[in-house]
Amino acid sequence: MGQALLELLGAEESIQPVGLLENEGSFASGACLPVGHWGDVGLLSQVRAADDFDVLIDFSTPLASLAHLNACAELGKAMVIGTTGFDDAGQACIREAARQIPIMQASNYSLGVAMLMRLAQSVSASLGQNAQIEIVEMHHHRKVDAPSGTALSLLDRVQKGLGQAVSVTHGREGQVGPRPPQEIGMHALRGGDVVGEHSIIFAMEGERLELVHKASSRSNFAQGALACAKWLADGQIAGLYGIEDLLGTD
């Protein structure tokens, strides 16, 4: 994602990088600097090393994101969070920081996925009581969290559509018996260089409806993240926002 963002920023006139964050002791220190066509940009090990910025875009790890979040809150700077895999305590920290600064948090910055979220909730409300629902996601073999943050967001939308939280089964093995009517299956696949694929299956007697989104490039996520950064910088007040706020959708 960092590479995809930098490539877009190299051709973007309305937003410019002023600093790039990199872990101390990175195995490829400075490798990100040539991926663009701007002037001198500082390579930083922490957010507090420079305060001349409007928005921090963060796609990293939960631990790093929370450290960056604390610094942004202290400096009064907006933040776009694309990191997934936060535990309840980490999510509570994000909600608390949103009392001080504007934060955009999304598990997926694709506009197509944003529409998939809306459809997932709508179809669940209409057909969910008569269907067995399965959520399947696949990503590249280097992804460390499972299910993906997008799959978990889809699960939340499905349950909102159903009007209730139902039990969730992560994969199946052995003599599990007949499938309970009130259950959602979650399946995480890993392999190759898959950018991201998500599907929701509504299986009914005699028919099946599938909602599917497949990403072939990270550029669509990067475009969404940059759009969110510009939106936050355009006078948004403190608060925790989702990509639906940018799109003006429910």
What CA–CA distance (Å, rounded) separates 100 from 95?
A: 10
Question: Contact at 8 Å (CB) between 94 and 70?
Answer: no
Other C-beta atoms lying within 10 Å of the C-beta of residue 225: 26
Instruction: Please list the active-site residues.
Output: 139, 143
- What are the residues facing 203 on neighbouring strands? 132, 208
Residues 6+ apart with CB under 8 A from 202: 123, 124, 127, 128, 131, 132, 133, 208, 209, 210, 211
> Radius of gyration of the chain from Cα atoms?
20
Which residue type sits at 191? G
* E strands present in the chain: 19-21, 42-44, 55-58, 78-81, 102-105, 132-139, 167-170, 183-190, 196-204, 207-215, 239-241
Query: If DSSP codes are grouped into helix, strand and coil, which group holds residue 71?
Result: helix
